[in-house]
Structure 1
Amino acid sequence: MVGWIKPAVFIACVAPFGLLVYGAFSAGLGPDPAETLMLVTGEWALRFLLLTLAVTPLRKLSHWQWPIRFRRMLGLFAFFYACVHLVTFGQFFIGWNGGRALEEVVKRPYITVGVMAWLLLLPLALTSTRGMQRRLGRNWRRLHQLVYPALVFACVHLAWQVRSDYGEALVYCLLAGGLLLFRLWPRIRARA
């Protein structure tokens, strides 16, 4: 069953990027293509991060084992879209100027937490292989708990840059809060 699902999931994960590339070449990204690229890639990075963290609750609640096979792919796509988001910022907003990048990170808190989220995802992507999992042993699991603060930083990054309509940011934050609570609930109950 998983054999045909994996390519389908991969194609679904690549589709938003394909649509962006098509929009870029067909002048379909609106009046400010750079802003559209920033917005869409940031949203997809957060969506894939949420989907990655939703795999374990889905497995536990449904008792299906097969969703766990897609967690790594979803996590790597979260990192991919976060990288495209960062590259878009570097290319169109700061022109790869190191001094300006540092100034933006220091001056704008929403950029600071966005960069922190990306920095936390970087070691997760670099250690996502089975070989690294074997090499790191139990430390691999500890390292990959960085996904939780990365999710918090990503949500704060989104919420701090919203200027008027907080509805979408609130939905993402509530979903993130629910997923984090699902992870923390057994520890809360054990302490109680």
Structure 2
Amino acid sequence: MALAPVMNRLLAHKAAKPVWWTLLALPFAWLMWGAINNTLGANPAEALIRGLGDWTLRGLVLTLAISPLRQWTGWHQLLRHRRAIGVATFVYGTLHWLSYAWLDQGLELDALLKDIAKRPFILVGTLAWLLLLPLAATSFNRAIKALGAKRWQALHKTVYAIALLAILHFLWMRSGKQLYGEVAVYAGIVGVLLGWRVRNAWRQRSQTPARRTPAVSTG
């Protein structure tokens, strides 16, 4: 039996969405359990902030991977769950930024603004989070109808810019300890996904028949 039809049936099942939401919530539950039980290491605040950031980046990569995976595997029902992954990514990103603002800066606006201006990796991370806000705000059916499909799709293509900013944020954060291995893995995956998007767009454009230019009348 071919795998694609089986996977599509499973992904379309009414129980699939609750399963997805449960899986997406598990990392947060694990981090909260660690924070409550003091198992996050010597610096639990830093571990919590970084853990939430890691899952934000993973969510971005998974969101970007949905379309290529659909094409490569034939699992077309994956599209039904992209919105849940995107919303969960925004939630993790918001919790990551709020944890930094609270645990690192004590929710003091003055200190926050000074730190954002002083440290480039914080500035880039904050910018990536701010760019996620309009995507989260337009992730509902009413917003899609209000914007129109083309404008909505154009807006949500900024997720690639957000992913690149997130990797730059991760790179600068890890550069202090010169730990680049994990950064390279994420950068490589996003590079492949972005390359797939560019190649796909170029192929679609090349297959679109050119419009005929009407002949100019000479009288």
Task: Say whether the fold is shared (TM-score over 0.5).
Answer: yes
Instruction: List structure 1 runs of 4+ shifted beyond 6 angstroms.
Output: none
> Residue in 2 aligned with 1:131?
142
Matched, 1:183 2:194: no
Indicate which of 162, 171, 174 corresponds to 2:185: 171
Matched, 1:23 2:34: yes
The more displaced of 180-189 and 8-17 is 180-189
* Deviation for aligned residue 1:63: 2.0
Matched, 1:34 2:45: yes
1:37-116 matches, within 5 Å, as: 37-116=48-127
The one-letter code sitting in structure 2 at the alignment partner of 1:102 is L
- Secondary structure at the aligned position of 2:15 is classed as helix
* Deviation for aligned residue 1:186: 2.8
The one-letter code sitting in structure 2 at the alignment partner of 1:145 is K
The more displaced of 65-74 and 2-11 is 2-11
Matched, 1:142 2:154: yes
* Deviation for aligned residue 1:101: 1.1
Q: Deviations 1:63-115 (Å, cap 9, x if unpaired)?
A: 22110001000011111110110011011111111111111111111111101
Q: 1:188 to 1:139 in 2, by over 3 A?
A: closer
Give the Cα separation in 2 of the matches to 1:184 and 1:116.
Answer: 24
* Deviation for aligned residue 1:61: 1.3
- Secondary structure at the aligned position of 1:29 is classed as coil
Unaligned runs of 5+ in 1: none
Give the Cα separation in 1 of the matches to 2:17 and 2:98.
Answer: 28
> Residue in 1 aligned with 2:169?
157
Q: Which has the higher helix share?
A: 1
Give the Cα separation in 2 of the matches to 1:139 and 1:187.
Answer: 17
TM-score by length of 2: 0.84
Q: Superposition RMSD on alpha carbons, in Å? A: 1.3
